[in-house]
Amino acid sequence: MNKKEGKILVVDDNAGILSSLNQLLKYDFEEIHTISNPNVIPNRIRKDQFDVILLDMNFKASENTGNEGIFWLHEILKIDPNAIVILITAYGDIDLAVKAIKEGATDFISKPWDPNKLITTLQSGVKLRKAKKEVTELKNKQKALNNDINKLNNSIIGSSEEIKKLLKKVQKVAETDANILIQGENGTGKELIAREIHRLSNRKNNSFISVDMGSVSETLFESELFGHVKGAYTDAKESRIGRFELANNGTLFLDEIGNLPLIMQSKILTILEQRKITPLGSNAEKDIDIRLISASNKDLLNLVDENLFREDLLYRLNTIELTIHPLRERGEDIIELAEYFVHKYSKQYQKQILKINSDSYKKLLQYQWPGNVRELKHTIEKAVILCEKNILRPTDFFNPDDSIKKQGFSNVETLAEAERLVVENALKKAAGNLSQAAKILDISRSTLYSKLSKYDL
Where b means 16+ CB within 10 Å and e means fewer, 349-362 reads eeeeebebeeebbe
Q: Is it the case that residue 177 has pLDDT exceeding 70?
A: yes
Fold designation for 328-411:
Helicase, Ruva Protein; domain 3 (1.10.8)
What is the phi/psi pair of residue 49, to 5°?
-105, 135
User: Among 226-235, 295-304, 318-327, 331-340, whose mean pLDDT is lowest?
Assistant: 226-235
What is the average pLDDT across 69-85? 90
Local confidence band at 429 (pLDDT 50, 70, 90 cut-offs): confident
Average pLDDT, the chain: 85
d(CA 451, CA 445): 10
413-457 and 161-323 share a CATH fold? no
Residue 64: predicted pLDDT:
64
The dihedral built from the CA positions of residue 209, 295, 342 and 430, taken in this order, carries a sign that is positive
The Cα–Cα gap between 83 and 77 comes to: 6
- Topology adopted by domain 413-457: Arc Repressor Mutant, subunit A (1.10.10)
| Least confident range of 82-91, 284-293, 311-320, 340-349 | 82-91
Whether 108 has a pLDDT exceeding 90, the answer reads: no
Residue 56, CA distances (Å) to 42, 66, 110, 202 in order: 15, 9, 10, 39
Tell the CATH topology of 7-131.
Answer: Rossmann fold (3.40.50)
> Can you give the residue ranges of every domain in the chain?
7-131, 161-323, 328-411, 413-457
CATH of 161-323, one of 3.40.50.20, 3.30.230.10, 3.30.499.10, 3.40.50.300: 3.40.50.300
Q: What are 332-379's pLDDT values in tens digits? A: 899 999 999 999 999 999 988 889 999 999 999 999 999 999 999 999
pLDDT number for residue 92 = 57
Are 72 and 104 a contacting pair, CB within 8 Å? Answer: no
Residue 411 has pLDDT above 70, yes or no: no
Q: Which of 65-69, 145-149, 225-229, 255-259 shows the lowest mean pLDDT across its residues?
A: 145-149
Residue 275 to residue 269: CA distance in whole angstroms: 10
